[in-house]
Structure 1
Amino acid sequence: MGRTRTYQWEDPAILAEAAGRMAGIDFLRELKAGRLPGPPINYSIDFTLDEVESGRAVFSLTPGEEHYNPIGSVHGGIFATLLDSAAGCAVQSTLPKGMAYTSLDLTVKFLRRITVDTGTVRAIGTVLSQGRQTALAQAQLVDASDRLLAHATSSCMLFPVPPAQG
């Protein structure tokens, strides 16, 4: 018999609306505290926002078989998702109310294999540089011993949030 996993999520429009009316750090703090529902991706991959401060965001994941690729290790897309989330949210944490971001690129370097035996991993994102229209962030994926497993850089475009309709 095959293995199964079930999960559910809230309407993502709730988050989009909240993000548009709050400063980035406040939005992420509300998300971390559970006062806003997590985004659907957090439930499908099963990772969490653990820390947030201005210019820094940390996510964690405990690898499971559901994250495996066909060769018996965690799929690189899982690494990339964690790194993208950490780098992007580090940028978001610096944005004032009325500003948003989108990732323009993500460059990932995979350094070590991850399996269920690796244990919980953390993606630590930090802002390296920020201007009026773009930001550059990095993220490091580390194990419990702070051994570097993967590294990423991300350029983000910054833009004003359109006014709410209605």
Structure 2
Amino acid sequence: MRRSRTFEWGDPAVTAAAVPHGSGLDFLREIMAGRLPAPPVAAMLGFTLEEAEHGRAVFTLEPGEEHYNPIGSVHGGVFATLLDSAAGCAVQSVLPQGTGYTSLDLTVKFLRPVTVDTGKIRAVGTVLNAGRRTALAQAELRDSEDRLLAHATSTCMLFPVQQN
């Protein structure tokens, strides 16, 4: 039986244009409040930024069949996307106005399978160290019973962002 899924997203250029105009934490809070569009990847995969504070960001996802790999569990790329988003946004939350970031690397360890029966999962990102040029963050993917499903570390490069 065929299945389908439809989704919509806001203009990513609007969100990108807002990056230089406030702190990284202010930027994340604007997305959470709906005053800036969430990134299209969040709509495509169905995840949400639920918490943002200095040095920490939390994303949630309710796993569905659309996230499955051929062996009947959530694809590792979905895990990696959630973990990359959590670690990266944790870094963004500590950035001053006029500073951006990009991921330089992401190392993921998969510990448990996830299926639709797992229920809502949370990717919790935290900053381990933020310097002038790079930041190191980690992220944990956990189920509703707080079991660790996957873990990641990420190094991010920091750079000045020009105002438009």
Tell me the TM-score normalized by structure 2.
Answer: 0.98
SS at match of 1:73: coil
Residues 65-144 of structure 1 aligned to structure 2 (within 5 Å): 65-144=65-144
Aligned to 1:149: 149
Tell me the TM-score normalized by structure 1.
Answer: 0.97
| Deviation for aligned residue 1:57 | 0.1
Aligned to 2:158: 158
SS at match of 1:82: helix
The amino acid that maps onto 1:6 is T
CA distance in structure 2 between the aligned counterparts of 1:95 and 1:129, rounded to whole angstroms: 12
Deviations 1:14-67 (A, max 9, x none): 000011212100000010111111110010000000100000000000000000
Tell me if the contact between 2:47 and 2:62 (Cα under 8 Å) persists in the aligned partners: yes
CA distance in structure 2 between the aligned counterparts of 1:79 and 1:41, rounded to whole angstroms: 13
Corresponding pairs, count: 164
Moved over 2 A (4+): none
CA distance in structure 2 between the aligned counterparts of 1:132 and 1:20, rounded to whole angstroms: 17
| Deviation for aligned residue 1:163 | 3.7
| Deviation for aligned residue 1:126 | 0.1
SS at match of 2:91: helix
Identity %: 70
Structure 2, unmatched stretches of 5+, are: none
CA distance in structure 2 between the aligned counterparts of 1:163 and 1:50, rounded to whole angstroms: 27
The amino acid that maps onto 1:74 is V
- Whether 2:49 is the aligned partner of 1:49: answer yes
The amino acid that maps onto 1:12 is P
CA distance in structure 1 between the aligned counterparts of 2:136 and 2:66, rounded to whole angstroms: 31
CA distance in structure 2 between the aligned counterparts of 1:135 and 1:11, rounded to whole angstroms: 28
SS at match of 1:144: coil
CA distance in structure 1 between the aligned counterparts of 2:20 and 2:76, rounded to whole angstroms: 31
Deviations 1:71-130 (A, max 9, x none): 000000000000000000000000011000000000000000000000000000000011
The amino acid that maps onto 1:3 is R
| Deviation for aligned residue 1:162 | 2.4
Tell me if the contact between 2:21 and 2:163 (Cα under 8 Å) persists in the aligned partners: no
